[in-house]
Chain A
Amino acid sequence: GDSVTQMEGPVTLSEEAFLTINCTYTATGYPSLFWYVQYPGEGLQLLLKATKADDKGSNKGFEATYRKETTSFHLEKGSVQVSDSAVYFCALGGGGSQGNLIFGKGTKLSVKP
């Protein structure tokens, strides 16, 4: 079945460092791909999405490109801030009998000043 694999971390970076969180997927169709962020003690927030191959999703300085040839959707940010410390989940749209979203295991990011 469809699945998502992401690097589990934790990832610790200094402020203004470059961030990459790897995400790869397996899907039988052509689902949308998402990145969600969860700040401590809160629910999940949609960070960005891409609906088809070669689409780039972007928001708040974060970017991810839907790569069909490598089945990847890596999250990147050029310069992280302390306020970016959170858990990041990669997800694909399952639809049908699989419900709405299939999540990766999550990557905890800690940014030090």
Chain B
Amino acid sequence: DTEVTQTPKHLVMGMTNKKSLKCEQHMGHRAMYWYKQKAKKPPELMFVYSYEKLSINESVPSRFSPECPNSSLLNLHLHALQPEDSALYLCASSQGVNSHTEAFFGQGTRLTVV
């Protein structure tokens, strides 16, 4: 199983809402990632979890709050977002965080903030 599963596939939320994005993998990978992708751009790294601990936070605003409940699950909690936060949010996982391991990506959550 080389699948990373993200839910929901689409999400529309108001600027005062609280919502969560979910990601799951069963490949035994110990590193998990959140990326943000705007139209016609490459993915931008947001957060990296290694062995369930946050190892990288790329200066992401606090309205985005990651959580890694266990080695298979990764959540992204959203609160008080702005319209410019509308994007495709991609989850990925890899065996480790080094320069030789490939990452496996989910299908993404298409987020629209209204």
Contacts and interface: CB of A to CB of B under 8 A. Distances in A.
Given A89-B42, A97-B56, A43 B100 contact: no
Interface residues of A, number: 28
Interface in B1-26: 4, 6
B81 interface: no
Contacts of A31: 99-100
Interface residues of B, number: 27
B97 interface: yes
A46 B97 contact: no
Contact of B97 (A34, A92, A100, A103): A100
Considering the complex of A and B, which 9 residue pairs feature the smallest CB-CB distances, nearest first? A95-B99, A93-B99, A31-B99, A103-B42, A43-B105, A95-B98, A44-B105, A32-B100, A43-B107
Interface of B: 4, 6, 31, 33, 40-43, 45, 48, 56, 58, 90, 92, 94, 97-108
Interface of A: 29-32, 34, 36, 42-46, 49, 51, 89, 92-97, 99-101, 103-106, 108
